[in-house]
Amino acid sequence: MKELFSTDYVIYNKESDKPIFFTNVNEIVIYGNKLEADDDCIVNEVAIPCTELPQHWQDKLLKQINSKTN
C-alpha cells in the first residue's frame, strides 16, 4: 500500500474545496515538485503538498494511487 508524501504537490482551490483533476480520467493531478505546480496555478489556486489537503481529499488521492498499484 502506497502513502502520500510531502514532496508531491497538488493544486488546490480553497474557495471551492477542490484540487485540480485530469478531465479525461477524473483523477487528481499530482506534481513532482512545487515549481511545476505553481506554473499551472490560476486565480484562487495554490500549490500545496498533497499531505496538506483536507482529509477527505487525501483519502480520495490515496485510493487513486493505490488503485494503480493493484
- What digits encode the pLDDT tens for the residues 12-31? 999 999 999 998 888 999 99
Tell me the per-residue pLDDT of 34-63, one tens digit each, with 9 for 90 and over: 999 999 999 999 999 999 999 999 999 999
pLDDT at 70 over 60: no
Q: Which pLDDT value is given to residue 12? A: 98
Burial state string for 2-23 with b = 16 or more CB within 10 A and e = fewer than 16: eebeeebbbbbeeeeeebbeee
Residue with cell 503538498: 49
User: What predicted TM-score, i.e. pTM, was given to this entire model?
Assistant: 0.90
